[in-house]
Copies of this chain bind each other. A is one copy, B any other.
């Protein structure tokens, strides 16, 4: 199957947003064995979109458009496709009901302008529900080819793709499959991971191994191409076993699992609770820990104490400095006792220059984890912009709990 992608939106051509939908769709289509030879961006203009659709239909089996499905007058993708394939748009009351229902759930009322999003093609058209936004997707049959229109908002596009588009493609193509196993590793840098498994990678062509580094973690992706899912799984399992042997506990899970999810599940299984106190990460650690459904079962409380004054107010202890090993250890013990939790986790980090520190201290971090009998602590230095540093600090902090739980 050959697919061609059309990204609609004047904001793309003005460079106001980076087109991340392209890489997302291409990556997933490649994994489904779909060939993409062309993608293009066009503005919110009926003629130009229509001519892009015509050209795409002339060279591909499947045309996917993203963007231009909004309720306002500048959103014209539907009209342009109608022109390109010579088919009428008709109002679909059932789609309108769905939109009204969505607005009701938000405690608002759908405005008349929203009616535009309830228009569908009069024939050969299937509505693809959008559960998180008001623009549904459409699947349109054009002879033996298909057009799929998707909203441009990445969250909405991705939700519709995972739920409908990718399974639909997988079912139709049947041309051998590609499977991937993305192992998530934390506590090691990308080059260290690579060196540790270099000999396993040597001479390997199927499955292949690829790396993706994000702040605080590395994904090791094993990808196999085979005639059946079972065969691909078998090929992957062989390499996986060798990699797991080598990287051990540094592998915490499989994408899209997150470290907080894995750690949260471990806490629930172990019946353990945790309390958190953080300084300049400002709530990142606790907001990651509470991303996990059911987190109220293990997180008993979290405190953000951004200054030595705030620490003194809560703990009754006056520290000279906001970042330090002793500070972190005392805070971890304090928060554990305070919340009567099994674990107390503390993170102190210097993410912007403050009084008493210089530029070279930036990224200085001390973490501590207390349980009833002991306190472990760890000093690291993180780099990057503030968001990246927060991600790295919170990753290392949460990993302290995970490693304690598998000891």
Contact = CB atoms under 8 A, between A and B. Distances in A.
Interface of A: 10-20, 22-30, 36-43, 45, 48, 52, 70-72, 74, 102, 105-108, 111, 113-114, 132, 153, 155, 159, 178, 180, 182, 189-192, 194-195, 210-213, 221, 223, 276, 280-287, 289-291, 293-296, 299-307, 309-310, 313-314, 339-340, 352, 354, 363, 380-388, 390
A296 B302 contact: no
Contacts of A43: 37
A301 B303 contact: yes
Shortest 10 CB-CB contacts between residues of A and residues of B: A15-B27, A282-B290, A283-B283, A15-B26, A283-B287, A302-B304, A107-B381, A283-B286, A40-B40, A296-B306
Count of chain copies: 2
Given A106-B363, A301-B310, 13 more contacts: A11-B221, A15-B25, A18-B18, A39-B41, A72-B190, A106-B383, A113-B191, A153-B213, A281-B287, A282-B302, A283-B286, A283-B302, A313-B340
A295 B302 contact: no
Given A22-B12, A106-B382, A287-B287, A42 B37 contact: yes
10 contacts: A12-B22, A16-B182, A37-B48, A72-B191, A74-B210, A282-B291, A282-B295, A291-B386, A301-B304, A302-B306
Nearest to A322: B296
Contacts of A38: 40-42, 48, 52
